[in-house]
Amino acid sequence: MADGSKPAAGAAAELQWTKATPAGYMPGFGNDFETEALPGALPIGQNSPQKAPYGLYAEQLSGSPFTAPRGTNERSWLYRIRPSVRHAQKFKKTTLPLWKTAPALGEHDLPIGQLRWGPLPIPKEKLTFLTGMRTMTTSGDVNTQAGMAAHIYLVTASMENEYFYNADGELLVVPQQGSLRFFTEFGRIDAAPGDICVIPRGVKFKVELIDGPARGYVCENYGAKFTLPDRGPIGANCLANARDFKTPVAAFEDKETNSTLIVKWCGSFNVAEIGHSPLDVVAWHGNYAPYKYDLRTFSPVGAILFDHPDPSIFTVLTAPSETAGTANVDFVIFPERWSVAEHSFRPPWYHMNIMSEFMGLIYGVYDARPEGFVPGAVSLHNCMLPHGPDKLAYDHATQVELKPVKLTNTLAFMFETRFPQHLTKFAAELDTLQQNYPDCWTPLDKQFNGKP
Ligand code: FE2
């Protein structure tokens, strides 16, 4: 897809994009991306020639078992200055105490409840994408490759000569304030509020700031990779369209500087001292790669006559489990859209859910809870805990004249997992935890009067 037209890319390469389907989506053949930062760096016609061009090492990164069915088989071939074994060897243990991994049970003694937090302030201290990661919830078990963790990141400094990869899961990053540049082995991705960026398991990267301090949300998915949901009767179009997902063109660092590579592995953090940058992939091809997506290109479908459909109509990406229709994680958004249903209660209905729902607001106002849930905030409606519109939203929805209304300037999202989400001690003790959140439903008094 990409071409080799950007020679001698190095660290100064401009950002370019291939435009193609996300890795793993297109069943069968024909889904390989290919890109080279130096002309002729990519071997033609074979993966592993006796001697690769430019003296590069050929290395395969497998995101699925070798024998996975063709439609879910994911791997990329990387042509790099040094093999990964020269970047990741002789580890020592290190710590990132606020980045937690499932199972992390019993960290607090809060009772169950509907929970909501105001935005975490971005502190003045130096925090990188790694040291600024704050785990709010964990679910499932990383050792069985099931479940997820929900994090908030607070970043005030770029990673310098520091690199990272996560063996525990892929990272779905949702910027809420400030832009991030992910310099990955596969090339560079800039992500601003309104975008998401997905870094697959095992992909080395560093994160730089672009326009000042940054805050956002992360879903660390321990399970099967995110992919696009089937559309069923919707047909071949709408929701997230494959053509809007972008993978980077190759870019590399040929840098001999004292550096560190940090690896997260089954919840432990390990560091290797290396004398060079591991972002030394000059060319690559394959279907296992990072990507970005602009959430504003999501084409929603909804009720065009009456009632309020299930929020699954807004699924952008789904990470399936072994049980059909029961996602390890769904990534769902609530974007700008028209609301036109007749004689209907238009906001999300009152409900209880076997799935557990971690929500955040990227910008604007969320229609079901117009007060208290501000950009950067978090709400957690766990397995089988009731929730729904607050009194203000209820009164408005039941009294307003139902004309077509466009919900504008709004972008909320949800990490919805089949597993209960367990609070971390950090989340349970946050000052921003809104102790009075459940009071928003208290004014919902009895209206039953025995008459129809
Ligand atoms: Fe819900």
- In tens, the pLDDT along 63-96 reads 999 999 888 889 999 999 999 999 888 999 999 9
d(CA 10, CA 381): 46
Taken in order 255, 256, 260, 266, the sign of the CA dihedral is positive
Residues 191-241 have pLDDT tens digits of 999 999 999 999 999 999 999 999 999 999 999 999 999 999 999 999 999
Q: Sheet harboring 33-36: ordered strands across?
A: 33-36, 281-286, 75-80, 57-62
Look at 194-203, 235-244, 254-263, 421-430 and tell me which has the smallest mean pLDDT.
235-244
344 dihedral zone (left: phi>0; alpha: psi -120 to 50; beta): beta
User: Rounded to the nearest whole angstrom, what is the distance from the C-alpha of residue 223 to the centroid of ligand 1?
Assistant: 22
Placement of tokens 């690199």 in the chain? 163
Task: Give the tokens for residue 400.
Answer: 């307003």
Task: Give the tokens for residue 295.
Answer: 């959430």
Q: Sheet harboring 170-177: ordered strands across?
A: 17-19, 245-248, 291-294, 195-199, 170-177, 214-221, 146-155, 133-141, 422-423
User: Rounded to the nearest whole angstrom, what is the distance from the C-alpha of residue 229 to the centroid of ligand 1?
Assistant: 19
Residues 116-154 have pLDDT tens digits of 999 999 999 999 999 999 999 999 999 999 999 999 999
pLDDT value of position 9? 33
Would the pLDDT of 18 be above 60? Answer: no
The closest of 342, 341, 339, 331 to 298, measured between CA atoms, is 331
Placement of tokens 């050792």 in the chain? 143
User: Rounded to the nearest 5°, which phi and psi values hold at 202?
Assistant: 90, -5
User: Rounded to the nearest whole angstrom, what is the distance from the C-alpha of residue 357 to the centroid of ligand 1?
Assistant: 6
pLDDT value of position 221? 98
Q: What is the pTM assigned to this prediction?
A: 0.93
Measured CA angle at 229 (ends 316, 320), to 5 deg:
105
Identify residue 24 by its one-letter amino acid code.
Answer: G
Q: Annotated catalytic, 87?
A: no
User: Rounded to the nearest whole angstrom, what is the distance from the C-alpha of residue 65 to the centroid of ligand 1?
Assistant: 35
pLDDT value of position 88? 84
Ligand 1 being an ion, which residues bring their Cβ within 5 A of it?
A: 357
Would the pLDDT of 23 be above 70? Answer: no
Task: Give the tokens for residue 31.
Answer: 């889904």
Evaluate whether 335 touches 410 at the Cβ level (below 8 Å): yes
d(CA 290, CA 277): 19
User: Rounded to the nearest whole angstrom, what is the distance from the C-alpha of residue 312 to the centroid of ligand 1?
Assistant: 11
Look at 9-18, 204-213, 237-246, 330-339 and tell me which has the smallest mean pLDDT.
9-18
Residues 442-451 have pLDDT tens digits of 999 999 999 9
Task: Give the tokens for residue 121.
Answer: 């302030």
3-state secondary structure of 162: strand
d(CA 415, CA 149): 9
**Pairing outcome for strands 245-248 and 17-19:** antiparallel
CA atoms within 13 A on the CB side of 67: 0
User: Rounded to the nearest whole angstrom, what is the distance from the C-alpha of residue 387 to the centroid of ligand 1?
Assistant: 6
User: Rounded to the nearest whole angstrom, what is the distance from the C-alpha of residue 388 to the centroid of ligand 1?
Assistant: 7
Task: Give the tokens for residue 103.
Answer: 């199972």
Mean of pLDDT over the chain = 91
Average pLDDT value for residue range 320-346: 96
Question: pLDDT category, 31, cuts 50, 70, 90?
Answer: low
Would the pLDDT of 11 be above 70? Answer: no
3-state secondary structure of 242: helix
d(CA 38, CA 33): 16
Instruction: Report how far Cα 193 is from the mean position of its chain's Cα atoms.
Output: 12
Cβ neighbors of 106 (< 8 A, separation 6 or more) are: none
Task: Give the tokens for residue 229.
Answer: 């949901």
Q: Which of 87, 151, 308, 343 is catalytic?
A: 308
User: Rounded to the nearest whole angstrom, what is the distance from the C-alpha of residue 432 to the centroid of ligand 1?
Assistant: 21
32 vs 76, residue with greater confidence? 76
Residues linked to residue 59 through DSSP beta bridges, in sequence order: 78
Would the pLDDT of 107 be above 80? Answer: yes
Q: What is the DSSP letter of 193?
A: B
